Amino acid sequence: MKITRKDFLRLSGLGLLALAGRKAVRALSGWSFAQTSASAAKPIRWGMAFDLGKCRHKDGCNRCIQACHSTHNVPQFADRAHEIKWIWKEPFQNVFPAAQTDYTRDFYGSLPVLLACNHCDDPPCQDVCPVDATWRRDDGVVTIDFHRCIGCRYCMAACPYGSRSFNWQDPRPAIATVNPDFPTRTKGVVEKCNFCEERLAKGQGPACAESCEEKAIVFGDLEQPDSELRQLLRSRFAVQRKPELGTGPSVYYIV
Amino acid sequence: MSDRPLIVAGLTLFVGLVSTPIWHGALNREAAMAALHIKLPAREKQCVAPASYMRTSHMQLLEHWRNEAVRDGQRQFVAFNGKTYDKDPTRTCLTECHTDRKEFCERCHNYAGVSDPNCWNCHNDSHVASEGNS
């Protein structure tokens, strides 16, 4: 069979058109599928707010810290160099150094502020971990796989909030009573607040928020416009720690 | 040429003697297991997988459990017989059945020449030990 030049060009053009059409159909159907599946599964982003005014109601109250420590087997070392921090307090002037003036420093500067892991939207600790031992889960919790941590402490250097602690020695002897439902850690791993992900899995809220009698710690879903947390953030002015770094903290402070 | 039967018989004897540990082990498998004196759970008759699988592959199973629970948040395990278990070695394995890890995990690991499992450096089993002793 002989094919003329004209026929050849005509056939090639038709073939190309058909290919392009198929691609277009595929892309469109893929797009519509992605749209529907995204709207079906609503993302969760867990967040927290510390109401500093309420937190100051009771002087020297450490219930949330104690609740966290007993839930997660956090060791208590006398030597501060070995301190393990999940939730702890620092003076206001150290937490928000830029948010004070000569006239507010006297009163506010030394007031205690609660600190914990900020569970960043874009966590620098995750980026530097060489073994994928820490990562941001789909629900916004930045978590650690203690099994995989090799103790290189890159994450501690990367975290701009000092939220991570290293186990320089075996923590077991420094734990008063061990909670059998949460592992203790071992010498040579890094740890931090985990937003009580083991309690979230059971449908419970974080231990610190639950233990606070003043309701100064509010926990909730930042993606849900009608959650208690979002309502609070709408009605009161709140700040994050070091928002200029672009890490997107999930922890807010109502000052 | 007339030495052929002698050579064959000698070779057979030699191979048989040299491979003694292999066929002795294969023949006396059950006796060797019994000599281990592994304490079997009193309460439960069926493990989360068939015993033969657990004997050879419990480490893979535990590793799967670990990765799925920690990384994917899947904390339920549906066993081969349809029963559902928590992927929690302390609660599911130790508390319910193997209440004495020294007599179960470590005895067999020592027998097989494998280093002791290091799970319990972090996962706490003191509550199981105290319940087991009382």
Please report the pLDDT score of residue B130 as a whole number.
60
Chain A residue closest to B128 (CA)?
Answer: A180
Chain B residue closest to A182 (CA)?
Answer: B123
Please report the pLDDT score of residue B127 as a whole number.
74
Q: Where are the domains of chain A?
A: 1-41, 47-254
Enumerate residue ranges in chain A where pLDDT < 70.
Answer: 30-41
> Does the pLDDT of residue B17 top 70, yes or no?
yes
- HSE-up (13 A, CA, CB side) for residue A122: 6
Q: What burial letters (b/e) apply to B21-34, b meaning 16+ CB within 10 Å?
A: eeeeeeeeeeeeee
How many Cβ pairs closer than 8 A exist between chain A and B? Answer: 29
C-alpha of B3 from chain center: 49
Query: Helix B4-18 to helix B20-27 angle, to the nearest 10 degrees?
Result: 60
Contact A183 B66 (CB under 8 A): no
Q: Where are the beta strands (DSSP E) in B10-133?
A: 76-78, 84-86
Contact B124 A137 (CB under 8 A): no
Please report the pLDDT score of residue A38 as a whole number.
45
Does residue B59 belong to the interface with chain A, where contact is any CB pair within 8 Å? Answer: no
Q: Cβ contacts of residue A37 below 8 Å, gap of 6+?
A: none
Closest CA to A120 of A128, A110, A131: A128
Q: How confident is the model at residue B26 (pLDDT cuts 50, 70, 90)?
A: confident
Contact B122 A201 (CB under 8 A): no
> Does the pLDDT of residue B36 top 90, yes or no?
no
The model's pLDDT over B38-96, given as tens digits with 9 standing for 90+, comes to 878 888 888 999 988 998 999 999 999 999 999 988 889 999 989 999 998 888 888 88
Does residue B29 belong to the interface with chain A, where contact is any CB pair within 8 Å? Answer: no
Find the helix or strand (DSSP H, E) in which A165 lies. strand A165-166
Please report the pLDDT score of residue A170 as a whole number.
94
Q: Which two tokens stand for residue B5?
A: 């039967």
Please report the pLDDT score of residue B131 as a whole number.
53
Q: How far is A53 from chain B (nearest CA, A)?
A: 36
The model's pLDDT over A156-211, given as tens digits with 9 standing for 90+, comes to 999 999 999 999 999 999 999 999 889 999 999 999 999 999 999 999 999 999 99
How do the residues of chain B divide into helix, strand and coil, expressed in percent and rounded to 5?
60, 5, 35
Does residue B4 belong to the interface with chain A, where contact is any CB pair within 8 Å? Answer: no
CATH number of A47-254: 3.30.70.20
Residue in the structure block whose two tokens are 């030394």: A110
Distances (CA, A) of A106 to A42, A60, A94, A100, A213: 46, 19, 14, 10, 28
Q: How far is A186 from chain B (nearest CA, A)?
A: 6
To the nearest whole percent, how much of chain B has pLDDT over 90?
A: 40
Residue A137: list chain B partners with CB under 8 A.
73
Q: Among A137, A139, A147, pick the best mutation site for testing chain B contact (most B Cβ within 10 A).
A: A147
Averaged confidence pLDDT in chain B: 86
